[in-house]
Amino acid sequence: MSGASAELSGRVIVITGASSGLGRAAAIALSTRGATVAVVGRNPERTRAVADLVGGFPFIADFDSLAEVRTLAEELLASYPRIDVLANNAGGLVTARGKTADGYERTFQHNHLAPFLLTNLLLDRISRSAGRVISTASGANLFSRLDLGDLHWRRRAYAGGWLPYGTSKLQTIMFIRELAWRTAGTGVDAFSFHPGFVATGFGADSGLLRLGQFVSRGSLGISPEQGAAPLIHLASEHDITSPSGTYFDGLSPDGRERKDASNEALCRKLWEQSAELVGLS
């Protein structure tokens, strides 16, 4: 991007879900500071448009398919000899129960399994750069219902997708915490954050959100630029004073979370089950 500062020159930042919303806003802000941004998205036209805007490269992947996640990882590794930041931002609310191409519940795969797999496939490259993994979580983790025996929501009420969504965001916090424990001493940092309720296409199929937008006359939520602030901060600041594994509420560390998020045994079991589901040793 012309006119970019050199603050982040030489740093490679991968952002998933970067074709719109806070991912797009973060890509623009970080490229303006001089970073090379890998723009990952599902929609080819929007993803290429953002990549052109930030002077980066587009990578197309649909997280409904773990095969596409693996191909994405191969393409990123072939493109960048270093990866300084991986921002796992893709995901969303799925209002109707459904399965992915891999046979897993869609919210669980989009919001947890796919970024879990991508992170693990890129982790060695991130480690070489003493890099950072950042995942977009949510305050919705507070109404989660974690059940390691029913990760695919076959036996429980779907509740318009809200319970699986909140649970997937708890899983995001737990994944980042376990990643921090596993990479301790390697130079890798891992953080998750709640961006606030961002006024984007999030939950466009949700009747509850449509009602909220109607009642608020379209003013429900903060701007994508405001929602992107924690991601930009965590991706660009050299020293984060909070320890690796911290969950931020906006820019504030130690956001409110369910107690399961700090249960070491549960975090380890979630990691092990996730690894088995995606075929990692």
Question: What is the Cα–Cα distance from 216 to 235, expressed in whole angstroms?
Answer: 33
**DSSP conformational letter for 251:** T
Q: Which amino acid, 89?
A: N
Question: Helix and strand tally (H, E) in the chain?
Answer: 9, 8
CB 192 within 8 A of CB 137: yes
Give the span between the Cα atoms of 172 and 115, in whole angstroms: 9
Catalytic residue check, 247: no
Q: Beta 132-136 vs 36-41: how paired, if at all? A: unpaired
Q: Would you call 66 helix, strand, or coil by DSSP?
A: helix
- CA 59 from chain centre, in angstroms, equals 16
Instruction: Name the catalytic one among 80, 104, 165, 247.
Output: 165
Single-letter amino acid code for the residue at 102:
D
For residue 120, report the phi and psi dihedrals to the nearest 5 degrees: -65, -35
String of DSSP letters for 137-156:
--GGGGG----TT-TT-SSS
Tell me the catalytic residues: 165
